[in-house]
Amino acid sequence: MSSNGPLTGEFFMNGDIACAEGGISAGCRFFAGYPITPATEVAERMAERLPEIGGTFIQMEDEIASMAAILGGSWGGAKSMTSTSGPGFSLMMENLGLGAMLETPCVLVNVQRAGPSTGLPTAPQQGDMMQARWGSHGLYPMIALAPCSPQEIFDLTIKAFNLSEKYRTPVLVMADESVGHMSEKVVIPPPEEIELVSRKKPTAPPGEYIPYKPDDDLVPPMGLTGEGYYFHVTGLTHDERGYPDMSADAQERLIRRLINKIELNKNDIIEVEEDQIEGADVVVCSYGISARVALLAIKSAREEGIKVGMLRLVTVWPFPDQRIREVATKIKAFVVPELNNGQIALEVERCAGGAAETVLVGHMGGAVHDPQVILEAIRKAAK
Amino acid sequence: MNQKKNEISALSLLREERMPHIWCPGCGLGTVLNAFLNALIKSELPLEKMAVVSGIGCTGRTAGYVKLDSFHTTHGRAIPFATGLKLANPELNVVVVSGDGDLASIGGNHLIHAARRNMDITIICVNNFNYGMTGGQVAPTTPLTARTSTSPYGCSEPPFSLPSLVAAAGGAYVARWTAMHVRQMTKAFVEAMLKPGFSFVEVISPCPTQYGRKNQQATGLAQMNYYRDNSVIKHGADPQDVSIEFNGTITVGKFVDIERPTFSDLREEIVGAKFNPESKA
């Protein structure tokens, strides 16, 4: 395997490798990571590929350092990325919060495995979906995308970079072991056909640049280190100058804006895939590998004459509240298969608000669902 | 200090709108900051290419007071943040200014690994023997038997000797001074910033409010007197021989100044062969 830039063409590759190639196609030129099953191949691919294209790979001493290093890399001007799995994801939570607070574009890939603790390192789970939203302390916005195939992890890694650059915030790619280790055809378009977004640069000259003064979209332009802006950034609550301000007013202003820059731009961020929702009695709402496994159950149910639709969450966070509310008024029930004991199902139930029933098809992980179990749930819900 | 010219210049590098600073009367951090800014001017390094990274704690506030690109990060993580910054933009001169608890306790793993890699960054570690900001708790640098709020009967754990730790891990430049040794400290900062690879300067610094008060040195002056009466300059001392005992001798000086390939040198030599120059265009 040798290439001097982003690949173009059709390839047979696993999800982890497709993820790394997605990063490269998105312009990622700095990767810091730490070995962990089942995400290691992302780092291995980056270790091989980045030197070929003038990028930098470093294996750090742990995941805490990896997350800190990609924040530094981003402030140094490189599109930056790391990858990990559950145990490392927990360690990255600390600096994920710093990334949100400093408004640092970067991408963190979690190839989820079964937990808690060391759990099942080589088997899938979707047990980190709530941690993805709330895992760091305090209040902050989060964007998380859930790929269901090697092709999609390639596409969504690019999308994750674009969103992180556009909104100046860390973005999570929430894959899982089965997607990471599944090998399939991946089509990589020529670079000129891939739309890339880069962070807004300051228009004000260095002396007049106010680091955290937002534009109308609530996102402040980002000056880079070494360009003469002499900015200060801090994980403390800060004013528009970036200086610490320990007042409740400053907290309200800053955190409200951080949350609103995602909330008010939800329509731009949220992507869902829908199929035959119009006229459905039951809608299977799922994401990642579980949504893919559910396709077989949906097909079988339709063959039995059940009117069943599909709503796949490509963006899991921010949660597509509004769309779930709309659909809930038209159907009997949501069936929510996920490889946990009910995380996203809680969100679906909250948004359904009693207008439709929410049926969790839980699974403790270690394998994917048996489609028959999902089919049974669809049958029951349709009655 | 009659270096009026330098004082004026150092002042111009201070974010005056951030004054007054948060440091207590008698604290050594103002002295360290002044020495750092003077060293920066003496080094003649381009200011726009300087980056200061701090962790959390009293010393961690340094980044917020300098008129440079500066980062106040998370507790213990200044070094890996600085590592990313330097690797993404090798033109930068990156200086980490943080405390002993931040760098040697919660950040201890990052400290030794950055030294092992000989990452081309400079560390200024202000060691006041305790966690000042949170009320004077025991630190991995607290001398045996010293009292702190979490070692009320006397510290019963032996401390790290930071020069020994960093030298053993591979630091290319290791020095120690106290807040009383302003000229020597300033010179060490200049040398450290100009040194390729991992450079580390420990500054023993007064914390009268917390550490001093509990150990019969309740003023900054008392602590400075202790440094004056008990510091011994030994350039080239074996880093293994510079441990600090409670109220004992403080060996100061430049202990390590060696040539060692940096992270970037080795990467270019070993990995760089795989670079395709055409792809960089």
Q: Which residues of A fall within a CB distance of 8 Å from B47?
A: 230
Of the partner residues A80, A98, A227, the one whose CB lies closest to the CB of residue B84: A80
- For the sheet with A28-33, list strands across it: A56-59, A28-33, A79-84, A106-112, A170-176, A143-145, A315-317
CATH number assigned to the domain comprising residue A20: 3.40.50.970
pLDDT score recorded for residue B8: 54
Supply B71's token pair. Answer: 């980062």
pLDDT score recorded for residue B279: 41
Is A237 a member of any domain? no
Residues A189 and A74 reside in one and the same domain: yes
Inform me whether the pLDDT recorded for B278 exceeds 80.
Answer: no
Q: What's the CA gap between A156 and A153, in Å, rounded?
A: 5
Residues A181 and A286 reside in one and the same domain: no
Q: What's the CA gap between A119 and A294, in Å, rounded?
A: 25
Which residues 232-261 on chain A approach chain B with CB closer than 8 angstroms?
Answer: 232-236, 243-244
Q: Which residues of A fall within a CB distance of 8 Å from B266?
A: none
Of the partner residues B15, B71, B88, the one whose CB lies closest to the CB of residue A78: B88
Q: What's the CA gap between B77 and B109, in Å, rounded?
A: 10
Q: What's the CA gap between B196 and A194, in Å, rounded?
A: 40
Say yes or no: A5 contacts chain B, CB-CB below 8 A. yes
Boundary-marking domain end, from A137, A159, A193: A193
**Contact: B81, A71; criterion CB under 8 Å:** yes
- Given a cut of 70, the residues of chain A with pLDDT beneath it are 1-4
CATH number assigned to the domain comprising residue A352: 3.40.50.920
Supply B233's token pair. Answer: 């300059």
User: Letter for the amino acid at A187?
Assistant: V
Q: How confident is the model at residue B275 (pLDDT cuts 50, 70, 90)?
A: low
Residues A139 and A286 reside in one and the same domain: no
Boundary-marking domain end, from A193, A224, A242: A193
CATH number assigned to the domain comprising residue B63: 3.40.50.970
Report the range of poorest mean pLDDT among A99-103, A113-117, B53-57, B270-274: B270-274
**Contact: A74, B88; criterion CB under 8 Å:** yes
Residue A198 CA neighbour count, 13 Å, CB half: 9
pLDDT score recorded for residue B9: 81
pTM over 0.90: yes
Is A214 a member of any domain? no
**Residue A31 structural domain:** 9-193
Nearest CA in chain B to A29: B88
Is A189 a member of any domain? yes
Number of domains chain A contains: 2
Residue A289 CA neighbour count, 13 Å, CB half: 28
Boundary-marking domain end, from A128, A162, A193: A193
Residues A182 and A276 reside in one and the same domain: no
Residues A178 and A38 reside in one and the same domain: yes
Number of domains chain B contains: 1
ipTM above 0.85, yes or no: yes
Residues A187 and A38 reside in one and the same domain: yes
Q: Which residues of B fall within a CB distance of 8 Å from A95?
A: 73-74, 77
Residues A54 and A180 reside in one and the same domain: yes
**Residue B20 structural domain:** 4-280
Residues A189 and A287 reside in one and the same domain: no
pLDDT score recorded for residue B119: 98
Q: What's the CA gap between A110 and A107, in Å, rounded?
A: 10
Is A221 a member of any domain? no
Inform me whether the pLDDT recorded for B94 exceeds 60.
Answer: yes
pLDDT score recorded for residue A191: 96
Inform me whether the pLDDT recorded for B276 exceeds 60.
Answer: no
